[in-house]
Amino acid sequence: MKINQVLYVYTDGGARGNPGPAAIGVVISKAHNEQDGSIITRFGRRVGETTNNVAEYRAVIAALEFIATQKLPCQRINFFLDSQLVVSQLTGEFKIKQPHLRTLVDSVHALVRRLGTEVSFTHVSRSRNKHADELVNQALDDPDMTASA
């Protein structure tokens, strides 16, 4: 990958019961439209019993940790989430009232600083985030599964 590479990261988190069994889905691609051959990784996994919002944050954190661990060279990371609340909290548009969510936001910001790259967070419709959403549902439907490709 070139150093001027832009990564496109689609993340989703969900819980059945809210709180309830929860899972995350992550798709990291070299192209905005997830063309064949552009997907670097995709994975889904359960994250215990929690809320939708916590699962959404854990998906962002898992993606950033993957990028850091794999040392993926990139100039910019564009995140796409279908949670308006999480995007607005990460960008500073909304206040964070719950201390447990503040801790997760702080973790995201620490990982971004560690990577030392530009990062953006954009809200998209659920239909534009369908691959990450599918990974969440696969992980929730099969408790023994950790989906990846």
Task: Please write the tens of the pLDDT for every residue from 22-61.
Answer: 999 999 999 877 666 799 999 999 999 999 999 999 999 9
DSSP string for residues in 14-64: EESSSSEEEEEEEEEESSTT--TTTEEEEEEEEEEEE-HHHHHHHHHHHHH
CB 122 within 8 A of CB 76: no
Reported pTM: 0.93
**Pair of tokens at residue 23:** 């899972």
Nearest partner of 52 among 21, 96, 88, judged by Cα: 21
Which CATH architecture fits 6-148? 2-Layer Sandwich (3.30)
